[in-house]
Amino acid sequence: MKRTYPLLLVAILFAACNSISARSYNNMCVAKENALIPQIEVTENSVAAFAQESKFDSVAAVSQRMVTSIEKTIAEIEKAPLPSVTGGEDFKKAYLDYFQYMKKVYASYKKWGLAKNDEERGTEIQNVQALIKTQKMVLAKMQSAQRKFAAENNLTVEKK
């Protein structure tokens, strides 16, 4: 019976380490997302202002900066070691899909800004609008994966 206690203690410590790793990985992804928010807000405001003034080259420039920032975030998440926990791969994929979606939105803004005439701009703005319509679905999918990852690894997720 005495031999069981050390094994049980090791199992508990191992489970605790996995939870810490899962928590750290989740927090890293959330921190990367939150770090983009100020730049997203500035970019969205700039795109609206430049579009109103028909400064489409400026729309393209600020959108490209956002694409570059998102690409950097994607690369950082891809390089980050994935903890050996339940659902880690699915969670990572969901977060990467979410960032890829954001990248597509800003790449579409850029295409809109680079369009050569009103007809091309009309086509590109339709593409942007189609992407924006899927935003809630993409966000819900990522949040669902996050909740599942949290549940599988005994974490709590703050709702904001």
In angstroms, rounded to a whole number, what is the distance separating the alpha carbons of residues 39 and 32?
A: 12
How many independent structural domains does the chain possess? 1
Tell me the pLDDT band of 13, cut-offs 50, 70 and 90.
very low
Residue by residue, DSSP assigns 57-110 as HHHHHHHHHHHHHHHHHHHHHHHSPPPS-TTHHHHHHHHHHHHHHHHHHHHHHH
Range of the domain at 71: 4-152
Tell me, yes or no, whether 157 lies in a domain.
no
The predicted structure's pLDDT at residue 20: 52
In a domain, 53, yes or no: yes
pLDDT the model gives residue 123:
96
pLDDT in tens, 80-106: 999 889 999 999 999 999 999 999 999
Q: Is the pLDDT of residue 126 over 50?
A: yes
| pLDDT band with cut points at 50, 70 and 90 for residue 155 | confident
Q: Does residue 160 carry a pLDDT above 90? A: no
The whole model's pTM is what? Answer: 0.83
Closest CA to 114 of 64, 72, 46, 44: 64
159, part of any domain? no
CA atoms within 13 A on the CB side of 52: 6
Amino acid at 153: N
d(CA 52, CA 98): 28
60 in a structural domain: yes
Q: How far apart are the first and last CA of the chain?
A: 47
Residue 158 inside a domain? The answer is no
Domain-embedded: residue 65: yes
Tell me which of 155 and 113 has the higher pLDDT. 113
Q: Are 152 and 86 in contact (CB under 8 A)?
A: yes
Domain presence at residue 160:
no
